[in-house]
Amino acid sequence: MNAHVRAPATLKLRTHSLIAFVLQPAEPLVDWLETLDGWLAKSPNFFANKPIILDMADVDIPLKDYRSLLSELARRHIRVMGVEGASRSLVGPHLPPNVTGGTPVNPASAEAPAENKAPTAEQPTAERPKAPSGRNLVIDAPVRSGQSISNLEGDITIVGRVASGAEIIAGGSVHVYGAIQGRVIAGVSGAGDARIFCTEARAELLCLGGGYVTAEEMDPKTEGKSIEVRLVEGEMKIRILN
């Protein structure tokens, strides 16, 4: 009697690149969480469904306080996928794993901006790389609420509107031939020459090179105007084009 021979299963393994936002807690944690709540009040869905890494290099807290911090973040719907720079006592079962080898970029700073000023990015310690070329993404349709479009290796061009609740994340520049009503984050791959262009500014959030401005903080003169956002000596500037 012949036995049935099953073909061996194939194990498929591949790599996958994604953007992870790095949060850097600071002591006292109560004040840091209060600052985070201020950010979330302006952009409540900013961290939703995004991979988050905690940079704990500058925070020295016991395990009990660390678990409490993770609980506070989870209560704010911020799920931590990994941790950098944590002491050995903060890495173990049922805790986020220690991750290494990532490429640092300039995520949005959660520091409160100075009054009547757009926030500034950290001063670079070396020449910033230019925006990657040859991998630009063009979307010939409006971006609907709830959609997230990302291209970490180049520019993004949207021929249409970016609706409220939509999100655009680009390694280079973002060009929107229509209204920006959602969130646009440009230059996340460290491109110092990245810019944001749109024909009608009504954005919930504009972020470039570590600086950001929300709808509440934006100069009313820019509303509904065609604008350019760029970095000038590390400071985020918004210029009306018409």
153 & 212 share domain = yes
Q: Among 90, 121, 150, which residue terminates a domain?
A: 90
Average pLDDT in the chain: 79
Q: Tokens 């600052």, residue?
A: 35
d(C-alpha 206, C-alpha 185), whole Å: 6
pLDDT over 90 (residue 197): yes
Does 8 reside within a domain? no
pLDDT of 13 over the 90 cut: no
The verdict on 151 and 223 lying in the same domain is yes
Which phi and psi angles does 90 have, rounded to 5°? -100, 10
Contact by Cβ (8 Å): 172, 150: no
Question: Which of 33, 68, 90 lies at the terminal end of a domain, its last residue?
Answer: 90
Average pLDDT score over residue span 197-225: 88
CA torsion sign for 129, 175, 48, 235 is positive
% the chain with pLDDT above 70:
78
Residues 143 and 227 in one domain: yes
Has residue 180 got a pLDDT over 90? Answer: yes
Per the domain annotation, does 101 fall within a domain? no
- CATH code for the domain of 71: 3.30.70.260
> How confident is the model at residue 218, as a pLDDT?
87
Q: What is the pLDDT of residue 228?
A: 95
> Is 131 within a domain?
no
Clarify whether residues 68 and 146 are in a common domain. no
What is the rounded distance in angstroms from the CA atom of residue 41 to the CA atom of residue 43?
6
- Same domain as 141, residue 85: no
Domain-embedded: residue 169: yes
Q: Coil, helix or strand for 34?
A: helix
Domains in the chain, number: 2
Indicate if 146 and 234 belong to the same structural domain.
yes
Mean pLDDT along residues 154-176: 93
CB atoms within 10 A of CB 94: 6
Q: How confident is the model at residue 48 (pLDDT cuts 50, 70, 90)?
A: confident
Q: What CATH number is associated with residue 211?
A: 2.160.20.70
Q: Which of 7, 101, 11 is nearest to 53 (CA)?
A: 101
> For residue 214, is it within any domain?
yes
The mean per-residue pLDDT over the stretch 142-148 comes to 90
The verdict on residue 98 lying in a domain is no
Model confidence at 92, in pLDDT bands (50, 70, 90)? Answer: confident
State residue 128's pLDDT score: 36
Which pLDDT score, from 0 to 100, does residue 122 have? 36
In a domain, 63, yes or no: yes
| Selection from 164, 144, 161, 147 nearest residue 198 by Cα | 161
Last residue of a domain, one of 33, 63, 90: 90
C-beta neighbour count of 85 within 10 angstroms = 14
Query: Poorest-confidence range of 3-17, 75-89, 159-173?
Result: 3-17
Signed CA dihedral, 56, 59, 65, 70: sign only: negative
Which position has the higher pLDDT, 14 or 89?
Answer: 89
Domain of 77, in residue numbers:
21-90
Q: pLDDT at position 225, please? A: 93
In a domain, 27, yes or no: yes
